[in-house]
Amino acid sequence: MISFGDFEKVDIRVGRILRAEAFPEARKPAYKLVIDFGGDIGERKSSAQLTGRYRCEDLVGRLVLAVVNFPPRQIGPYLSEVLTLGVPDEGGAVVLISPDADVPIGGRMF
């Protein structure tokens, strides 16, 4: 088990997807995302395996939750700066985790 203090170290924020494009170089089908977290965080890039349920054009403008304080990770030729959060459905396709109401970007989950 982890302590509550450990959980508090994970910085999960609300961001709005600004751009989404295909990522054909990825080993598993994925998109390249640019997400705006506003304020001090600004725009960050993410590689996300969302192709099973979403089209690029449907992602733009969506609010998502992402971990913003992990170190960047090189995914092929792309540097993913945040971890966009989702849960697999019964078929394994990732379903995004997002607020069910419009909230300010940059808001921290707690």
Q: Which amino acid is at 84?
A: T
Q: What are phi and psi of 6, to 5 degrees?
A: -65, -45
State the pLDDT confidence band at 110, using cuts at 50, 70 and 90.
Answer: confident
Report whether 17 contacts 33 (CB < 8 A): yes
Share of the chain above pLDDT 70, in %: 100
Does the domain at 4-96 match CATH 3.40.50.620? Answer given as no
Concatenating the DSSP letter of every residue in 19-71 gives EEEE-TTSSS--EEEEEE--TTT-EEEEEE--TTT--HHHHTT-EEEEE-SSP
Q: What is the pLDDT of residues 50-82, one digit of tens each?
A: 999 999 999 999 999 999 999 999 999 999 999
> Tens digits of per-residue pLDDT, 9-41?
999 999 999 999 999 999 999 999 999 999 999
pLDDT score for 55: 97
Domain ranges of the chain: 4-96
Residue 97, SS3 per DSSP = coil
Strands 12-22 and 63-67: antiparallel
